[in-house]
Structure formats: C-alpha cells, structure tokens
Amino acid sequence: MNLYKEAKSLLKINIREYGMYIALFVIMLVFTILTDGLFMSSRNISNLLDQTGYIAVLAVGMTLVIVIRHIDLSVGFAAGFMGAIAAILMSQAGVPVYLTIPIILVLGIVIGMFNGVFVASVGIPSFVASLAGMLIFRGALLRVTEKSGTVIVEQDSFNALGNGFIPSLAEAGGLHVLSLLLGVAVIFLYVISELSARRNKLKYGFEVVSKGIFALKVVFVSFIVAYITYIIAGYNGFSWTVIIMLGVTAIYHFLTTKTVLGRHIYAVGSNPEAAHLSGINVKKITYIVFGSMGLLSALSGILYTARLNSATTTAGTLFELDAIAAAYVGGVSAAGGVGKVTGSIIGAIVMTSLSSGMNLLGVGISYQYMIRGGVLAAAVIFDVMTRKKRG
Amino acid sequence: MSDYILEMNGITKEFTGVKALTDVSFKVEKGEIHCLIGENGAGKSTLMKVLSGVYPHGTYLGDILFEGAVQSFSAIGDSVRAGIAIIYQELALFPDLTVYENIFAGNEVQRGGIVDWNRTIAEAKKMLGKVGLDVNPELRVRDLGVGKQQLVEIAKALSKNVKLLILDEPTAALNENDSENLLRLLRELKAQGITCIMISHKLKEVIAIADKATVLRDGRTICTLDAAKGEIQESIIIKNMVGREIDDIYPKRANRTFGDKILEVVDWSAYDPQLGRSVARNVNLHVRKGEIVGIAGLMGSGRTELAQSIFGNPKGYRLEGELWVDGSPAAFKHTSDAIKAGIAYVTEDRKGDGLFLIQDIKSNITAANLSGISSKGVINDNEEIKVAGRYKESMSIKAPSVEQIVGKLSGGNQQKVSLGKWLFVGPKLLILDEPTRGIDVGAKFEIYTIMNKLISEGMSIIMISSELGEVLGMSDRVYVMAEGRIKGELPIEEADQEKIMQFATQ
C-alpha cells in the first residue's frame, strides 16, 4: 500500500504538470464513449494528429515567446505568406523541393529576427510590433497570390510533408511495419534513458523514487506509446507531419530543459533585470527566441501548403491565436518564465481533439467555438488556482 | 485637552518575524513643523505608512488619535478624507497629464460624473497661487522640473483641504535653490495653520525649520527635541540618531594585510539619460586585495548607481572616466564582461533584480555560471544539484531541498542564495549592495562570517551599506557618498558614526 501512497503524493505535487495529460485523457475517453469508439479509430487519430501539426509547431515557438514575456501575432500570416512563397518558388520559378524548403526556413529566421530587433533593440512592445507584422504579411500574402489566386503545388515529394506517410516496408496483419518498428525503437530508447538517468542519480547519491513506482511509470509510459503506435499502424502508419512534429518537440524539449540556452530563456522570462545582472544577454536571447519563432512559422507554412497541395489567399488566418490558445491550455504562464514545450503540444492536441470529437458528434460550429473558449478559460483558471495553492 | 492634532501611542508593527516598530509614540501639536529623523531602517517610513492607512488598522498595535478622535484607517482614502496627505520621495504624479489634471486627479471637480474642466482650471490656478508656483496649469507635468513637480504635489494636497501634511524627504532630489523655496513655503503653510511633518536626512534643514524633532532608532522613539528649548542642534541630533553601541555582532578578522589594487576608478561619472542628471560625479576610489571597503551614505546618494555603472552598466548610463582592474584599463560592454573580469555584484533589491523568485534554489545558484555545470552547452542536472547542495550546506540555507522555490524562503535565506550564486562564479571582487537589509540578526552574523572567510581566501569586497554599525564593524576603509560624489574617505581607525553622518548629510 506504500506504493499507492507514494504515487498519490507524487501526483499531488505534480498536479499542474499532469493536469494537462489527465484533461486530454478525459476528453478522449468522453468522445470515445459518445462516438462508440469511432473517435479512437486509427483513421480519426491519424487525421487528428495531422491537423494538429501546423498549429503544434507554432505553439512550440509561441511557448518560448510567451515565456520571455512577449507575444507574436504575426506568425499566422507569416506562415501563410511563406507557404505561398514556397508554392510560387516551386510551381512558377521551378526551384526544386530540396532547395525550396531550406530557403523558406532561412527566410523565416530572417523575418523572426526582424521582429526580435524591433522588440529588443528598438523597444517597441511585441504586441504592437507583431500586430504590424500581421497586417504586413496579410498584405504580402494577398499581393503574391493576387494574380493567380490559389497557387497549386504539383510536387508530390513536397505535398507528402502535409498528407503523406512514411513507407511501410512490409505488410503484417494489416499493420504498418515501419511504424511499429519506430514505436518499439522509441520505447527502447525511453527505457534506456530512464534507466541511465536513475543510475546516474544513484551514482551521485541522490534520492530516487522507489523501484515499484519507477517500474510502474516506465511500464505505463511504454504502454501509452505502444498503444498509440498500434492505433496509428492500423491506418497508414506515421505521417510525415507527425514525424516532423515529434522531431520539433524532441529538439525543443531538449533545448529548453537540458541546455544553457534554455536556462537563459527561462531566466530572462522569470526576471529580466536579474538575468541582465547575472551576465545574461537579454537582447540576444530575445533575438534567438523570435528567430526560432520565425523558423517555426516557416515550417508551419510549409506543412499547411503541403497539406492543401496549394497556397491560398487566406492561408494562416487565425493560426496565431490557435497557437497562443494551445500554449495557454498547455500551462504557459502569461506572467512569463513558466511553460513547457511538451505542455503546449498537448494543449494543441487537446484543442484539435475537441474540434474533431465535436465534428464526429455533429455539434454545430457555433457551439464548438463556445466550448473551445470554455476549455481555454478552464485551463487558465486551473493554472491560476494550482499556483495560488502552491503559494 | 491638549492641542495635539496627532497622537500616536504605543505603535508596534511587526513583519513576519521582524519588529519594525516597537511601542512608538509620536505627538504633533497643531500648527507646528515637526521633523522625524533617524537612520535608514529606523522605522520612519513604516510609521508614516501606519498613519496613512497603507498598513490598515488591525495590522499594528496601538492607537492613532487625530484631532482628538481615535482613528482606524483601513485604506489610504480614509486618511485622506480625514485631512492627512503624504507626499513621498518618489512623486506620485502622472507625468503625461497636465498640471491641473494632476492636482485634481482622484478628486475631480464634477457634477454627476461629468468633469467641469473650466472650474478645474480656475481652482488649480488658485491652488498654484497658494504654493507660489507660477506656471501655466495646462503644461504637462513631465515638462516641469523636479522642484516644481513637488509644488504641484503640495498643491494637490491643499486641494483636498489638508490639515496635516507629511513630506517624506522632500528635498532629497532638489537643488539648493528649490530646497530653500520649499522650506519657505512650509513656513507660509504653517502661518495658514497647516501642520507639517517632515522626514529629512539633511540636518541643516531640520535645524533651520523644525519646531520639534522626534528621533527614531531601531524602531523605537528615542526622544523629542524642542527648538524653543534650544535642543535642536546638530550634535544632539546625531548623538541620538546613532547612539547605539556597536556590539560584537561583527566577527573579528585577525589578518588585515592588503595586496595590490584590484580595482580603481578615476574621475568616474555616470549620467542617467532617463533621469536627466548625473548619478555619480567625479568618483575616485580603489580596492586592494584582501580589503573590505565600505561605502556609506544615505539612500539616493548614488551608491547603487555607482556600483552598477562599474559592473557592466546594465542601466545604460553615459560613462566618463577610467576603470582599472588588476592594474590594466578595462571597459565592460555588458555585465557578462564584468563577470569574466572577476567582479560580482549582489544587488540591494534581491527580490526585484537579484533572484528568480519563481525558480528553485539550484537554478538561482547556477544562473550566473551555467558553464560551470555544463559541457558543450548541455547542462548536467546532477552536477547542478551537487553544486547547489554544497552551497546550501556551507552557507546553511534553511530549506527542505535545493528544489525549493526561492520565493518561499525567508529574507535571510534568500540573501544567502543570492550570495551563493555569486560565489559560484568565483570572483576576485565582490560588490555587496546592502548585504543585510531586511534580515534578522542571526542571519546577519552568518553573512558577516562568510564575508570574513572570503577575505581570508584572498577575495576583496566593496560593501555598500546604510547601516553605520555594519560599515564601522566590517570595513577596513570607508568612503562616504552624498549626491553622487565621494564626500570623504576615512581609514577605519579614524571613522566614527558622527564623522560619517556629517559627510553624508552635507
């Protein structure tokens, strides 16, 4: 029974962190019951994750922007604009796909850096600077798509990023083999890293959780990964969008939790003056965070254009607010200094799950907006309450 | 029936664990100018906050009688309605509003929620006349000098039918001319029957203007001096202000031998473009290896600004003069350059710009030296816990673990975290800005002990402090600052409280 007690106290301490996962679980469970299992079907989950992709990568970048106490409203139309440029480069200028993608990503960094300069060096509030950016990119998007209207992309390799799947290699009982292998590899790496982290802690003589809890946690997480893999392998396997989304998450998670740069970002967010006095270059950190935001906007634009096989005149509309909502649902604090990349990804999945589930149930769009708004408010209220409790 | 307008009896105010005021009594007669004096931290501002209702009734012990009636103010608005107005050192004006808007801010001339601007302007002119300020009331306050802004504040107080006017260091930011004008105005107001309490550090002013003067020290009333009895004299005031014996809370240091100059500034000036004035002027000072140099002076004398201008200049002052570190000229573009050169600066405002309050102890301790726990930019979490644990141990930081959020620690423990952060950088010169402000005696002693240990390990320390006891107890040499200048330099053998106070109140 000690195991139960330990688990309970761990849950209590980390309720803020786990709250998001619990919420997602509850939402999925409710929709699964209401739709007689249709929600958790391979096809629906696969679609749901693909829909999340272009918002999720924005939410990752937005997390860092909000952590350093800024905001970036320009990312939606910036993504739309860069997606259009990509489409034009490929279909009108004949630039090959393998050149187009790096060009667009670099363009994204440059655009982000511009925002960074306006905010950090000129001292314009980020809300205003990025609002201006939003209008500019909206105009720019219209300008480049004005003549032809929608720009069709015919390069299959590019479009695969938005709606293609990784190759299967072989077929086994209707399951996607490479996806299964990937899932197994992820579980394997996860178990290895957990074990080595535990061994390292013991080597330093630090306290670790009991063996029972440790085993429970490893088995539980492995099971979740295995289950999701199984579901996805039942349809077409992992899509390129999901692979990219996972890759971005993994890189940013590592960056924010394990590196000096990540520490500096959170230091700037929790107290910029103290960060400056600690020898941290606050301006440089601001450039980097906005630069990364620009990079991820470009990626988002690429994913969206690929998903539609074309660039449209309204691409990117309201992406920025979806990304901001995902970040807040994911536990990012508006006061700065607090927020996890993984949380924002979960936040993005929560928001798409709501739309997807309600679509399956045939809930009207008017109610959908209200319910999503309610969930956003509830998430922030939960965040404020748990923080108050902790002092 | 006495003709006291204000009686404060047995006021005791406690902040979690620290007694700021102990059984203070303070009586002011109608129509007098009463000065309230004491060192920084003596409890003057706290007493005035009790009076004005910033600390509401019930959070302190004791009675306040105003015009003979017991008062229980629960907010500032209550004391304002009773006729008490406080003018703080940092003016509470809206710089981008006009003079007349400022005078009637919160007290608008209105009918049914609609402001009557014409009457407002007319009334404002009347009030400006009362304080002898001849400016167009339609000017923006930002465009007035500090002296005139102060008069606007007073006009604002007068518009509310003030009976008791409290001025907190009104002349601290004023030049001599403006100061004299202000004192003249106070005398005029006195003639109109307005009672005035003035908190001041400038003894000359006190002597010039006060009818009575009450001295506070360590949160207690020491005495009330009466000008009519000839008691308001510099020597008497200073004696009462500093009267405390220096007890042995300052641990002894055996070895006092000094090496080469580790830092020197020559003709150092710093101009603050935001304030539009110089915060440090022609400063010359040096620190030798193994030396504790005290910088004494009152708040606002430019000590913090001087320290920060040396430490990589985070506020972006315009600097002039020479900076020498270890015998070679140095120029720091950023705080990180100063840190690389072996200088550390522990801020006076540990909550404001010192600590990351929402982060844990370990992240705070390693924040200024992450390279010490990382390789190729990747942090070794376990190494970090080990390092933080070491400092937690050696400085006896009281917390359940190094994962404790710093915002939840007591002041003394927060200060130790602050200090630990800079010791982990391994500096040659440690600048401590008010190292023991707001912490209890036990923690003070621990900090002093740590300082002595660092000196014995070959470090040098600049200690900025408003506490004279601390300056005299810990320093090897003392500089006294006032108005951005070094007014005096005293070897510790020659320094005493009276001399320092004289320099500081010049």
CB contact under 8 A, A258 and B379: yes
| Range of weakest confidence among A62-71, B19-28, B84-93, B435-444 | B435-444
What is the pLDDT at residue B134?
87
What is the pLDDT at residue B244?
54
Distance from CA of A190 to the nearest CA of B (A): 18
Whether B212 and B35 have beta carbons less than 8 Å apart is answered as yes
H helices, E strands: number in chain B? 16, 24
CA–CA separation, B26 and A161 (whole Å): 78
Pick A204's closest partner by Cβ from B356, B382, B407.
B382
Q: Which residues of A touch B332 (CB under 8 A)?
A: none
Q: Which residues of A touch B359 (CB under 8 A)?
A: 266-267, 270, 337
What is the pLDDT at residue A389?
60
Q: What's CA B203's distance to the chain center, in Å?
A: 17
Interior CA angle at B445 toward B442 and B448, to 5°? 155
Q: Considering only alpha carbons, which residue of chain A is nearest residue B349?
A: A274
Residue pairs between chains A and B whose CB atoms are closer than 8 Å? 86
Residue A264 makes CB contacts below 8 A (sequence gap 6+) with: A275, A280, A285, B370
Alpha carbon distances (Å) from B439 to B15, B41, B319, B411, B414 = 11, 11, 34, 6, 9
Chain A residues within 8 Å of chain B (Cβ atoms): 200-201, 203-204, 206, 258-261, 263-264, 266-267, 270-271, 273-281, 337-338, 390-391
What is the pLDDT at residue A110?
97
CB contact under 8 A, B368 and A278: yes
Pick B374's closest partner by Cβ from A203, A260, A279.
A260
Chain B residues within 8 Å of chain A (Cβ atoms): 311-312, 314, 334-336, 338-339, 345, 347, 352-359, 363, 366-368, 370-371, 374, 377-379, 381-382, 385-386, 405, 407-408, 421
What is the pLDDT at residue B40?
67
> Is B243 a residue whose pLDDT tops 80?
no
- In this prediction, residue B426 has a pLDDT band, given cuts at 50, 70 and 90, of very high
Distance from CA of B3 to the nearest CA of A (A): 48
Whether B142 and B96 have beta carbons less than 8 Å apart is answered as yes
Alpha carbon distances (Å) from B365 to A25, A391, B361, B386, B391 = 38, 21, 6, 11, 8
Mutate to test the interface with B, among A200, A260, A266, A278 (most CBs of B within 10 A): A278
CA–CA separation, B304 and A44 (whole Å): 62
CB contact under 8 A, B358 and A280: no
Per the prediction, chain B carries an average pLDDT of 88
Q: Which residues of B touch A258 (CB under 8 A)?
A: 378-379, 381
Pick B335's closest partner by Cβ from A263, A271, A276.
A276
Pick B356's closest partner by Cβ from A203, A271, A391.
A271
Burial of A361 (0-12, 13-18, 19+ CB in 10 A): middle
- Summarised one tens digit per residue, pLDDT across range A256-273 is 999 999 999 999 999 999
Radius of gyration of chain A (CA): 22
Task: For residue B335, count other CB atoms closer than 10 A to its CB.
Answer: 25
CA–CA separation, B231 and B213 (whole Å): 9
Closest residue by Cα to residue B338 from B417, B266, B428? B428
Q: Find where tokens 């801010």 sit.
A: B105
Q: What is the pTM of this model?
A: 0.82
What is the pLDDT at residue A391?
42
Pick A206's closest partner by Cβ from B356, B382, B407.
B382
Q: What's CA B116's distance to the chain center, in Å?
A: 40
What is the pLDDT at residue B400?
87
What single string gives the DSSP state of each residue in A303-339?
HHHHHHTEE-TTTTTTHHHHHHHHHHHTT--TTSS--
Q: Considering only alpha carbons, which residue of chain B is nearest residue A337?
A: B358
- Summarised one tens digit per residue, pLDDT across range B249-279 is 788 777 778 899 999 999 999 999 887 888 9
Q: Considering only alpha carbons, which residue of chain B is nearest residue A271?
A: B356
Sheet holding B18-29, edge to edge: B18-29, B4-15, B60-66, B69-70
Whether A54 and A307 have beta carbons less than 8 Å apart is answered as yes
* Residue B64: both structure tokens together: 């306040």
Distance from CA of B372 to the nearest CA of A (A): 10
- Summarised one tens digit per residue, pLDDT across range A84-135 is 999 999 999 999 999 999 999 999 999 999 999 999 999 999 999 999 999 9
CB contact under 8 A, A278 and B421: yes
> Is B233 a residue whose pLDDT tops 90?
no
Q: Which residues of A touch B379 (CB under 8 A)?
A: 258-260, 263
Domains and CATH numbers, chain B: 4-242 (3.40.50.300), 259-342+427-506 (3.40.50.300), 355-425 (no CATH)
How is residue B98 annotated by DSSP? B
Q: Which residues of B touch A391 (CB under 8 A)?
A: 405, 407-408
What single string gives the DSSP state of each residue in A144-168?
HHTTTSSEE---HHHHHHHH-B---
CA–CA separation, B377 and B380 (whole Å): 10
Closest residue by Cα to residue B51 from B91, B1, B7, B19? B7
Q: Considering only alpha carbons, which residue of chain B is nearest residue A338?
A: B358
SS3 A20: helix
Whether A82 and A107 have beta carbons less than 8 Å apart is answered as yes
Pick B355's closest partner by Cβ from A274, A281, A390.
A274
Whether B105 and B97 have beta carbons less than 8 Å apart is answered as yes
Q: Considering only alpha carbons, which residue of chain A is nearest residue B409?
A: A391
What single string gives the DSSP state of each residue in B204-249?
HHHHHH-SEEEEEETTEEEEEEEGGGT---HHHHHHHHH-----TT
Return left, alpha or beta for B285; rule: phi > 0 is left, psi -120 to 50 is alpha, else beta.
Answer: beta
- Summarised one tens digit per residue, pLDDT across range A348-381 is 999 999 999 999 999 999 999 999 999 999 988 8
Alpha carbon distances (Å) from A113 to A118, A249, A289, A295, B139 = 9, 21, 9, 10, 40
CB contact under 8 A, B358 and A270: yes
- Summarised one tens digit per residue, pLDDT across range B45-56 is 889 889 988 888
Pick A258's closest partner by Cβ from B363, B378, B382.
B378
Mutate to test the interface with A, among B274, B335, B340, B402 (most CBs of A within 10 A): B335
CA–CA separation, A206 and B385 (whole Å): 9
CA–CA separation, B152 and B148 (whole Å): 6
CA–CA separation, A136 and A81 (whole Å): 10
What percentage of residues in chain A have a pLDDT greater than 70? Answer: 99
Distance from CA of B345 to the nearest CA of A (A): 8
- In this prediction, residue B248 has a pLDDT band, given cuts at 50, 70 and 90, of low
CA–CA separation, A43 and A39 (whole Å): 9
Q: Which residues of B touch A261 (CB under 8 A)?
A: 377
DSSP H helical segments within B380-410, as ranges? 381-394
Neighbouring-strand partners of residue B297: B481
State the amino acid at position A153 in one-letter form: V
Q: Is the dihedral of CA B53, B59, B64, B69 positive or negative?
A: positive
Q: Is the dihedral of CA B334, B340, B344, B350 positive or negative?
A: positive
Pick A274's closest partner by Cβ from B354, B374, B379.
B354
Mutate to test the interface with B, among A206, A277, A383, A386 (most CBs of B within 10 A): A277
* Residue B475: both structure tokens together: 């320093």
CA–CA separation, B395 and B450 (whole Å): 8
Distance from CA of B354 to the nearest CA of A (A): 5
CB contact under 8 A, A267 and B356: yes
- Summarised one tens digit per residue, pLDDT across range B357-379 is 999 999 999 999 999 999 999 99
CA–CA separation, A107 and A298 (whole Å): 8
> Is B443 a residue whose pLDDT tops 50?
yes
- Summarised one tens digit per residue, pLDDT across range A126-170 is 999 999 999 999 999 999 998 888 999 999 999 999 989 998 877
Strands B195-199 and B164-168: parallel
What percentage of residues in chain A have a pLDDT greater than 90? Answer: 80
CA–CA separation, B26 and B466 (whole Å): 24
Biggest alpha carbon–alpha carbon distance for chain A: 71
